[in-house]
Amino acid sequence: MGGTISSPHRCFSMRNPFARALLLTLAMFSVSWIFLRSDIDVRSALRKTAASAREVMSQRPLGFGITAETSAEKHGSHAQSSNASRVMICDYDIERLKKWKEQYHLQDTFEYTKRYVQVRRQNITRKSVTKLGQDFLAGEVKVVDVNQQYAAETCPEPLVVPVPQSPFPETVNASEFMFGVSTTYKRFVDPRTSPINEWSYWLTDGKGNSNGGKLVLMLLDASESELGDAYSKLTSRGIDVDVYRSDPSMIMAVRYLTLVPQMYNHPERVNKKWLVVCDDDTFFPSFHALADKFAEYDHERPMYIGTFSEDVNNIQRHGSQAFGGAGVFLSVPMAEIVAEKYDTCRTEDKIRESNSGWGPQGDILLRKCIYENSEVKLTLLNDLWQLDLLGDPSGFYESGIKPLSLHHYRGGIWHTAHPWHYTKVAHVCGEDCTLQRFQTADNFIISNGFSVAYYPWGIDFDLNQFEATFHAAPENKGWNLDYKMGPQRPSLHKTGRKISWDLKEATRNEDGTVSQVYVLKHYDWRWKNPDGTPMTERDGVIELVWMPDD
Ligand SMILES: *[C@@H]1O[C@H](CO)[C@@H](O)[C@H](O)[C@H]1NC(C)=O
Ligand SMILES: *[C@@H]1O[C@H](CO)[C@@H](O)[C@H](O)[C@H]1NC(C)=O
Ligand SMILES: *[C@@H]1O[C@H](CO)[C@@H](O)[C@H](O)[C@H]1NC(C)=O
């Protein structure tokens, strides 16, 4: 069995059979999903006949907007406003607008809102939602035509946002950790799957210096010069890495297990407390919090720390174990046991026993190696996320949580997300600020770094529950995810009650600010009224510029 698996990356062992299972069930599954959804739409529509809801709606109908020409006649200035720490410029930079139009396939005329956000770092704890007294929209929404020229504009007062005094990514000290990743050279260099930017976030100070974290990278299907290329690409970004060639005769589950002795036998292991096995799409958005959490554990004991899949089906299928994409943390004494028993943990029998029906699983091989050679059991750290979710991930990223890891964000059958861009704002307002929510008086919620969502009928649902925009698969029982996430509130897709601009890119500017570009497409399948008509006829861009508190 094992020898026939030629797929290069560990994830593929799940992905290919998974995709097949998905195809098999897709027909039945999508039919029931459609019924379920229309059901929700009807119920929400009925519920929403309340007079108050209508009132809110008529106050700010969608399809809002005036043309910029009229307002631009006001000829604003660039005067620094009292609440802003930086000069604010709201002129129409037509070259940039054109670039976005090309890049995000926008209409020639689209809505464009630019808003500065002034961060105020205060002695407060992180809140899941912070209510602001200010409106998000300052006046009418502008519609710009990229083929026109516009006069100068005045910026509205910035939004003023209180945040905790959480540490900045550049001050992370990751020197107690070593990370092991096994992937292919092809995935490493393909712009769609390359982890270099993401690694530069959690393995460097963001200025080209290592933060002390060590990376052990095992590359499959790489020539000598490609190994060198990978090494120089990573070290030029400040990442402290050693690159090794994977043994192509090993099946991927074994290549995964091999990361443990590879790290344990590394000369720098003597300075480490935690050896971490992860995937090439594992991301640590809040490293200070992660390191603080691990400071609570006893690294001198053998410890096996990780998290379950969110989908209870996967526990039933694969077993009670750490799911590797979320990161599996082994204390050095734990890794020592695995390294010693390595030869007996990777026999043909063990490989056969680690086949859950979806091919031999590296996670199972590691769990068996630990459970069959020690009394140690998994310690659950539920702030790590495997993210075995399908569909629109918004409900997760908009939940106000501060995840310690993220995974499965490179599309394919899983979701698409851009955590490297999401976390850029942490350089302005601290690590706690990523994915923190700010609710304005006019029913917008900024899920910082991920989206800006508008709720035209008001925010009359429980923001402490995940919105069920995503689902489990292939066997969606409706409650697969509840044991980890709690029951989720109904999705607002196609209800006319929510519309959102999703972050596509973020940039750290020379003046210390961070710009975020959030994009809305008028034909987005999610933003429809219950009768199926689109909530807006226009594409839209919201640009937020975060100003540091200094
Ligand atoms: C902005 O500054 C003005 C004048 O100093 C002040 O009255 C106002 O409260 C400030 N707004 C916010 C949101 O802090
Ligand atoms: C921060 O707030 C806490 C609790 O309100 C207080 O005990 C502490 O002294 C404050 N720290 C500073 C630096 O003001
Ligand atoms: C980082 O942590 C290590 C071990 O805890 C310590 O020896 C080192 O001095 C720290 N480095 C910095 C720059 O603080």
Which residues surround ligand 1 with Cβ inside 6 Å?
82-83, 134, 157, 160
Ligand lying closest to the C-alpha of residue 138: 1
pLDDT exceeds 70 at position 282: yes
Query: Any idea which residue has 């399948």 for tokens?
Result: 525
Using pLDDT thresholds of 50, 70 and 90, give the confidence band for residue 27. very low
Cβ neighbourhood burial of 36 (10 Å; 0-12, 13-18, 19+) = middle
pLDDT at res. 189? 97
Measuring from atom 14 of ligand 1, which residue has the nearest CA? 160
pLDDT exceeds 90 at position 529: yes
pLDDT at res. 289? 98
The 10s digit of each residue's pLDDT in 210-231 is: 999 999 999 999 999 999 999 9
Using pLDDT thresholds of 50, 70 and 90, give the confidence band for residue 7. very low
Asked which of 11-25, 112-126, 377-391, 481-495 is least confident by mean pLDDT, the reply is 11-25
266 C-alpha vs ligand 3 centroid, how far in Å? 19
- State the average pLDDT over residues 53-74: 38
Q: First and final CA of the chain: distance in angstroms?
A: 61
Measuring from atom 5 of ligand 1, which residue has the nearest CA? 82
What six digits make up the tokens of 226?
Answer: 């490609």
- State the average pLDDT over residues 268-278: 98
179 C-alpha vs ligand 3 centroid, how far in Å? 17
Point out the ligand 3 atom lying closest to the alpha carbon of residue 173: 1
Using pLDDT thresholds of 50, 70 and 90, give the confidence band for residue 473. confident
3-class SS string, 1-28: CHHHCCCCCHHHHHHHHHHHHHHHHHHH
Centroid of chain to Cα 265: 32
pLDDT exceeds 60 at position 20: no
Using pLDDT thresholds of 50, 70 and 90, give the confidence band for residue 82. confident
- State the average pLDDT over residues 500-528: 98
The 10s digit of each residue's pLDDT in 332-341 is: 999 999 999 9
The 10s digit of each residue's pLDDT in 136-147 is: 999 889 999 999
pLDDT exceeds 70 at position 19: no
Cβ neighbourhood burial of 161 (10 Å; 0-12, 13-18, 19+) = buried
183: β partners: 219
Query: Any idea which residue has 């292991």 for tokens?
Result: 269
pLDDT at res. 269? 98
Q: Which residue segments constitute the domains of the chain, with CATH numbers given?
A: 173-277+285-374 (3.90.550)
**0.95 cut: is pTM over it?**
no
123 C-alpha vs ligand 2 centroid, how far in Å? 6
pLDDT exceeds 90 at position 62: no
Give, for 215, the enclosing helix (H) or strand (E): strand 214-220
167 C-alpha vs ligand 2 centroid, how far in Å? 16
Sign of CA dihedral 266, 272, 273, 278: negative
Query: Any idea which residue has 């809002």 for tokens?
Result: 64
130 C-alpha vs ligand 2 centroid, how far in Å? 19
Are 214 and 268 in contact, with CB atoms under 8 Å apart? Answer: yes
Residue 263 to residue 501: CA distance in whole angstroms: 42
pLDDT exceeds 70 at position 111: yes
The 10s digit of each residue's pLDDT in 253-271 is: 999 999 999 999 999 999 9
Angle between helices 252-264 and 332-345 (to 10 degrees): 140
Measuring from atom 11 of ligand 1, which residue has the nearest CA? 83
309 C-alpha vs ligand 3 centroid, how far in Å? 33
* Mean pLDDT of the residues in the chain: 88
Are 206 and 239 in contact, with CB atoms under 8 Å apart? Answer: no
Ligand lying closest to the C-alpha of residue 81: 1
Using pLDDT thresholds of 50, 70 and 90, give the confidence band for residue 474. confident
Residue 197 to residue 120: CA distance in whole angstroms: 28
437 C-alpha vs ligand 1 centroid, how far in Å? 21
DSSP state, 135? -
- State the average pLDDT over residues 532-549: 97
Point out the ligand 3 atom lying closest to the alpha carbon of residue 212: 1
Q: Closest Cα partner for 145 from 110, 104, 114?
A: 110
pLDDT at res. 33? 35
163 C-alpha vs ligand 2 centroid, how far in Å? 14
Residue 202: phi and psi, rounded to 5, are -100, 0
Within a 13 Å sphere around the CA of 221, how many CA atoms are in the beta-carbon half?
12
Locate all alpha helices (DSSP H) within 296-424, ordered by sequence.
312-318, 332-345, 348-353, 362-371, 394-397, 419-422
Measuring from atom 13 of ligand 3, which residue has the nearest CA? 173
Give, for ligand 3, the residue of 170, 172, 173 to mutate: max count of ligand atoms closer than 8 Å to Cβ: 173
- State the average pLDDT over residues 359-377: 98
- State the average pLDDT over residues 7-11: 32
The 10s digit of each residue's pLDDT in 391-449 is: 999 999 999 999 999 999 999 999 999 999 999 999 999 999 999 999 999 999 999 99
pLDDT exceeds 50 at position 296: yes
Give, for 452, the enclosing helix (H) or strand (E): strand 451-454
- State the average pLDDT over residues 121-130: 98
What six digits make up the tokens of 507?
Answer: 């940039």
pLDDT exceeds 80 at position 13: no
Using pLDDT thresholds of 50, 70 and 90, give the confidence band for residue 240. very high
Q: How many percent of the chain have pLDDT more than 90? A: 82
pLDDT exceeds 50 at position 155: yes
Which residues surround ligand 3 with Cβ inside 6 Å?
173, 175-176, 212
Ligand lying closest to the C-alpha of residue 272: 3
pLDDT at res. 153? 87
